[in-house]
Chain A
Amino acid sequence: MALPLQVQAEIVGREPAGAYHRLVLRAPGIAARVEPGHFVAVAIGGVDSAMLLRRAFSIHRADPAAETIEVVFAEAGRGTRELARLRVGDSVNVVAPLGTPFPLPAEPVSAVMVAGGYGSAPMFALAERIVADGGSVAFVLGAATAQRLYGVDQAQAITEDVVVTTDDGSEGVRGFVTGPLPEVLTAVEADVVYACGPMGMLRAVTEVASAHDARVFTAVEESMACGVGVCMTCVLPVVGDDGVSRFVRSCVDGPCFDGTKVRWDDAGTIPADIEGAAAMGAH
């Protein structure tokens, strides 16, 4: 596991990207430690900020030579609105790299990258790594609308096998990523699926991949307060190797999980068989 650093990062680039913003941060020492699937926790404002909780973003790209990392984000609330106001030359406090990254195959594989919206952010660096290691990749990128797709051009720069879906049909195939996914998995004889996006999508992708006997690794988007493993707010019910289900932390044990180990349907509940559930009744 890479040791995270807490540094003051300078914004050296920012640009709109469809419905999103892309930020380039010069964060000394961090880029060289980043693996695809790692995330960064960004503080909102300075020491007097009324927003205490860091915002977590998967790292889009990391360039060790330039000492930069990139993130893609949507303006979805107070914190991200604040981030969107920052300009080149401003600085933000970041902690990175955090989390358990995507596992990389030990041998060349046929991989399918599935993402919803800007969930695609970490997928391009991962795909490039798989291709560099002698494997092949295909992409299925989906979003509600064409505006909310991210990185179709980046995917097309890596592979010809790029399928796009939108809920409203404004680009690509109308519908969800799980529509064309079975056909893609068959066509490329997929060994493994990597997915990032909302919980419902990850659950559905896990089902499709499992039905095709492909491994499936999912990066979850769970809200978290600390990002470093101490607050216990970002837990998900996950089956351990010992067969026992536990609430595990998305920030350190994830965000990348074996999709078949996550109990998607039980998220947001206390399953009766989860470790320690019995103790909840007493008091």
Chain B
Amino acid sequence: MTDGYGGFADNFADNEDAGDFDDAPPSTIMLPGGGIDLATRIGSTLLPNPVTTASGCAGYGKELAKFFEPAAIGAVVTKTIMPYPRSGRATPRMAETPSGMLNSIGLQGPGIDAFVERDLPWLAARGGRTIVSIAGGHVDDFVALAERLKGAPGVVGIEANISCPNVANRGQVFACNPATSYDVIRAVRDVADPQVPVLAKLSPDVTSIVDIARACVEAGADGLSMINTLLGMAIDPDTMKPVLAGITGGLSGPAVRPVAVRCVYQVHAAMLDGQMAQVPIVGMGGIRTGLDALEFVLAGAAAVSVGTVIFNDPSSPVRILDELRAALIARGFGSLEAAIGYAHR
């Protein structure tokens, strides 16, 4: 440092500096097995357990490694990556709501090149399994991103985010229409590494989520991630204006859990009913405890994602994994697989 103030400018030079806590001991060590088989399969990927982070709630894994080992959970689902650096929306970007929050980030991110060169190798070196969330404005963007991820280290899945509400044409996201959903998923499946499963991230803000899910499965989706946030808004009674600079935002947290469980249940029921091929569902929406996660499994989810609750409890993914394991054992299940869709029987 030349200006006599220790370390300050360094914070700007590289605020993602990898050396910060590499020597730190893991705060949580997963016990192997724990008396029950928690492994779960998504396409050709076998995850050691079903708990993942929800996209947008765990960055690229590094920040949360201060609280738990990325390798301890099934997979880290990254914040959505786009082809180029993206500033995101203006602030205010969030509002707390009853048992939830609205966010209006607008997909701020470094772009695929910086992600592949900097963030992905870090996660891989840490032993983390990575499901990369990708998004773009056009089918071509998704294709370019899937191409770029071929052979990238530690990638065990691609989640096509066709349902982010915080984009300019919100309300017209790909996932609102079976045909556009099909086009994106088909294109991604065609170019992505055949060994890497492709998941479609679905929006609950549709008239029939079963129709969208079916289109994605017909397009070759190896799994379905359900659900993205619900489009919402809040108005400040003092200023009498919208709270969010982006006016609308995505609602998440325990407040949306009943909607999410309903979506998973309906789609799993349609699979059992022969309306579409059976693929794994990654269930998410307001999971705060192991019992919440169990609710999704019983509805038909083969894996779950923990999202907004990470903001409340940064170590929650490993806590929820422990609680889910205990809940399955307490109910006499010999494996996770035995509990998937149990509520339908």
A158 within 8 A of B: no
| Residue picked from B92, B289, B312, most chain A C-beta under 10 Å | B312
B186 within 8 A of A: no
Nearest CB in chain B: distance from A56 CB, A:
12
- Across the interface, name the chain A residue whose C-beta is closest to B9: A241
- Across the interface, name the chain B residue whose C-beta is closest to A79: B96
A173 within 8 A of B: no
- Across the interface, name the chain A residue whose C-beta is closest to B23: A3
**In the bound complex, do residue A270 and residue B310 qualify as a contact, i.e. CB atoms below 8 Å apart?**
no
| Residue picked from A253, A258, A280, most chain B C-beta under 10 Å | A280
- Select B91's contact among A54, A215, A235, beta carbons within 8 Å: A235
**In the bound complex, do residue B64 and residue A233 qualify as a contact, i.e. CB atoms below 8 Å apart?**
no
If A6-B314, A100-B11, A225-B311 touch, whether A105 touches B82 (CB-CB below 8 Å) is no
A247 cross-chain contacts in B, Cβ below 8 A? 87-88, 108
B93 within 8 A of A: yes
Nearest CB in chain A: distance from B23 CB, A:
10
State which residues 1-50 of A face B: CB under 8 Å: 1, 3-4, 6, 43, 47, 50
**In the bound complex, do residue B308 and residue A52 qualify as a contact, i.e. CB atoms below 8 Å apart?**
yes
Q: How many A-B residue pairs have CB under 8 A?
A: 170
**In the bound complex, do residue A258 and residue B8 qualify as a contact, i.e. CB atoms below 8 Å apart?**
yes
A228 within 8 A of B: yes
A74 cross-chain contacts in B, Cβ below 8 A? none
- Across the interface, name the chain A residue whose C-beta is closest to B254: A52
**In the bound complex, do residue A230 and residue B87 qualify as a contact, i.e. CB atoms below 8 Å apart?**
no
Q: Per-residue CB proximity of A206-234 to B under 8 Å, as 1/0? A: 00000000010100001101111111111
**In the bound complex, do residue B311 and residue A240 qualify as a contact, i.e. CB atoms below 8 Å apart?**
no
A265 within 8 A of B: no
In the bound complex, CA of A241 to CA of B9 (Å): 7
B67 cross-chain contacts in A, Cβ below 8 A? 4, 6, 228
In the bound complex, CA of A283 to CA of B107 (Å): 11
A279 cross-chain contacts in B, Cβ below 8 A? 82, 84-87
Q: Per-residue CB proximity of B283-317 to A under 8 Å, as 1/0? A: 00000110000000000000000001111111100
B240 within 8 A of A: no
- Across the interface, name the chain A residue whose C-beta is closest to B169: A283
- Select B93's contact among A235, A246, A277, beta carbons within 8 Å: A235
B21 within 8 A of A: yes
Number of interface residues of A (CB under 8 A): 62
Nearest CB in chain A: distance from B19 CB, A:
9
B250 within 8 A of A: no
**In the bound complex, do residue B101 and residue A53 qualify as a contact, i.e. CB atoms below 8 Å apart?**
yes
In the bound complex, CA of A97 to CA of B24 (Å): 15
| Residue picked from A4, A43, A53, A267, most chain B C-beta under 10 Å | A53
A187 within 8 A of B: no
**In the bound complex, do residue A276 and residue B108 qualify as a contact, i.e. CB atoms below 8 Å apart?**
yes
State which residues 75-110 of B face A: CB under 8 Å: 79, 82, 84-94, 96, 98-101, 103, 105-106, 108-109
B261 within 8 A of A: no
B101 cross-chain contacts in A, Cβ below 8 A? 52-53, 225
**In the bound complex, do residue A268 and residue B90 qualify as a contact, i.e. CB atoms below 8 Å apart?**
yes
Q: Per-residue CB proximity of A54-93 to B under 8 Å, as 1/0? A: 1000000000000000000000000100000000000001
**In the bound complex, do residue B96 and residue A52 qualify as a contact, i.e. CB atoms below 8 Å apart?**
yes
**In the bound complex, do residue B105 and residue A232 qualify as a contact, i.e. CB atoms below 8 Å apart?**
yes
A43 cross-chain contacts in B, Cβ below 8 A? 312-313
Q: Which of these binds chain A: B55-63, B177-185, B265-273?
A: B55-63
A157 within 8 A of B: no
B125 within 8 A of A: no
B6 within 8 A of A: yes
Nearest CB in chain B: distance from A229 CB, A:
4
A188 cross-chain contacts in B, Cβ below 8 A? none
**In the bound complex, do residue B86 and residue A233 qualify as a contact, i.e. CB atoms below 8 Å apart?**
no
State which residues 156-174 of B face A: CB under 8 Å: 167-169
Q: Per-residue CB proximity of A184-221 to B under 8 Å, as 1/0? A: 00000000100000000000000000000001010000
A179 within 8 A of B: no
In the bound complex, CA of A279 to CA of B87 (Å): 7
B137 cross-chain contacts in A, Cβ below 8 A? 282-283
A269 cross-chain contacts in B, Cβ below 8 A? 90
In the bound complex, CA of A252 to CA of B21 (Å): 14
In the bound complex, CA of A6 to CA of B314 (Å): 8
In the bound complex, CA of A233 to CA of B92 (Å): 7
Nearest CB in chain A: distance from B311 CB, A:
4
In the bound complex, CA of A53 to CA of B87 (Å): 24
If A3-B24, A47-B289, A232-B108 touch, whether A53 touches B6 (CB-CB below 8 Å) is no
- Select B63's contact among A106, A229, A261, beta carbons within 8 Å: A229
- Select A104's contact among B3, B5, B58, B312, beta carbons within 8 Å: B5
**In the bound complex, do residue A276 and residue B85 qualify as a contact, i.e. CB atoms below 8 Å apart?**
yes
In the bound complex, CA of A261 to CA of B3 (Å): 15
A1 cross-chain contacts in B, Cβ below 8 A? 20-21
- Across the interface, name the chain A residue whose C-beta is closest to B107: A279
Which residues of B are at the interface with A, using a C-beta cutoff of 8 A?
1, 3-9, 11-13, 15, 20-21, 24, 57-59, 63-64, 66-67, 79, 82, 84-94, 96, 98-101, 103, 105-106, 108-109, 111, 136-137, 167-169, 245, 253-254, 288-289, 308-315
Q: A241-B9, A270-B90, A279-B87 are in contact. List 19 more A-B contacts (CB 8 A).
A: A1-B21, A3-B24, A6-B314, A106-B6, A223-B94, A225-B103, A228-B63, A228-B314, A230-B64, A232-B79, A246-B87, A275-B85, A275-B87, A276-B108, A276-B109, A276-B111, A277-B87, A282-B137, A283-B168
State the 3 A-B residue pairs at the shortest beta-carbon distance, nearest first. Answer: A283-B137, A103-B8, A276-B87
9 A-B interface contacts by CB (under 8 A): A51-B96, A54-B311, A100-B11, A225-B103, A229-B59, A241-B12, A261-B12, A279-B82, A280-B86
